[in-house]
Amino acid sequence: MKSRAYYQFGSLTLKKREKSADVWEFRYYEDAATGGRTRKALFVGTTDKYKTEAQARKAVEAILLKLNAEKPMHHLGTVTFGGLCDRYIAEELPERYSTRKSYLSNINLHIKPRWGEYLIEAVRPMAVEGWFKEMDKSPKTKAHIRSVMHVIFECAARWELFNERRNPIEMVRVKDSTKRRKRPMILTNDTFDAVLAGLPEPFRTMVVVAQCLGLRVSEITGLQWGDLDTERRQLLVQRSIVNGRVDDVKTEYSHDHVPIHESLLEVLLAWSEQCPETEEGWMFPNPLSSKPYYSTEIQKRYLKPAGIKLGLGPIGWHTFRHTYRSWLDETGAPMKVQQELMRHASIQTTMNVYGQAMPESKREANGKVVTMVLKPLRASA
C-alpha cells in the first residue's frame, strides 16, 4: 500500500561559526528515484543577510512550494504571495532578456513589497483594484503590473496552490489602461529634417531607417547585412538587441519581412560602403568593439540634445515609431495595412479591422512614407 504523501515544512536551524557570521541551514526530505526518501541540507544564507528565522524561512518558501507540488492541498493556508512570486521567478520567468527584466522590475519594485506578506487567498480583487487607484503610476504601467500578477496566479492554479475557479486578477479593473498620461511627440517633415541634420553617421542612417520603417530601436541595432534582400527589396526583422544582449524580437508578429523602398535601399547601400566589417555582419556596428551600439547612449548623447536644441524637448527612439504611425495615417493607408507595417500583435493597437493586407498595399503605403522622409533630404542635398 502506497504511503500517504504529507506536506513537509522542513526544518531551519542556525549553525554557529567562530570566525564569521552564523548561517541558516534548511533540511528537508527528497523522494529518491528508487523509492524512499533522502535527507537533504541546503545553505540559505548568513545572519547578516537574514537576521531572523522568519526572514530565512521566507527565503526557502519557493523551495517548499516545489517540494510539495504533488502533495495534498491542506497546506494552502501557509503559502504567501511572496513565496509564489519566488517560485515563479525560479521556474517560469520568460527567457527573453528585456521581458525578464521588465517582469522582475514589476515583481521586486511593486508586487512583492505590497503583497509579498499576504497569503495567496488574501490577495483579493477589490483590494488590488484599490491599490491601483492609489498608485501614482501611468495607466499603462498599472496594466503591465496587473498582467504580471495575472500570469503568476495562472501558475498558482496550475500548481494547485489555490482553490478558486477564477483567476482573481481577471476581476481587477485598471482605469484608462489604454490611455497615456501625455500624448507622444509626433514630428513634422521639417522637424524631422532638422533633427537629422545634426546627426553624424551611422546614427543618421539609423534614424532614417527608424522613420522609414517604424522599427523599434532594438530591432535596428539587431540588423545584419544578411537580413537585407536587395533583389526582392525587403528586410527581414528577426532579432533584437537590448543592453548588448542578442535576443528574439518582441513577438511572433514582429518577426517579419518589411518592404524596402528603392530610395531607402540607396541610402542603405551608400552606408554599406562606409560600414565597418564585422564577423557577424552587423549593419550598424561600433568600430571600437565591432558590436552593435548601445541605443540608450545614442539617445542620451545625440537624440535628446538635438530635440532640446530645436525646442522640441527631449526626443527618443520611439518618437520615430510614433511618427511613422502618424505619417502612415496621413497617406490614407487602411488600418489593417498600418497594423502589419507596424507589426503589432493585436489589431486593437491600431483599430479593430479584420483581414490581411496584401504585400502590394503594404509596399505602396510604406513607399509614401519613405518619400515623405527622403524627398526633402534630396532637395536640400
Instruction: Please report the domains of the chain, with CATH numbers, ordered by start residue.
Output: 1-51 (no CATH), 60-182 (1.10.150.130), 189-380 (1.10.443.10)
Concatenated DSSP letters of 28-71? EEEE-TTSSEEEEEEEEEETTT--SHHHHHHHTHHHHHHHTTTS
- The pTM for the full model equals 0.67
With bands split at pLDDT 50, 70 and 90, how would you rate the model's confidence at 3?
very low
Q: What is the pLDDT of residues 246-297, one digit of tens each?
A: 888 777 778 888 999 999 999 999 999 999 999 999 999 999 999 999 999 9
56-65, 96-105, 302-311 — which is least confidently predicted? Answer: 56-65
Radius of gyration of the chain (CA): 27
CB 100 within 8 A of CB 136: no
| C-alpha dist (Å) from residue 229 to 211, 260, 361 | 19, 9, 19
212: phi > 0 → left, psi -120 to 50 → alpha, else beta; which? alpha
CB 328 within 8 A of CB 338: yes
Q: What is the pLDDT of residues 290-319, one digit of tens each?
A: 999 999 999 999 999 999 999 999 999 999
Per the listing, cell 486593437 goes with 348
Rounded (10°) angle between helices 335-342 and 359-380: 70
> What is the mean pLDDT of the segment spanning 326-355?
69
Q: What is the pLDDT of residues 10-24, one digit of tens each?
A: 677 888 888 888 888
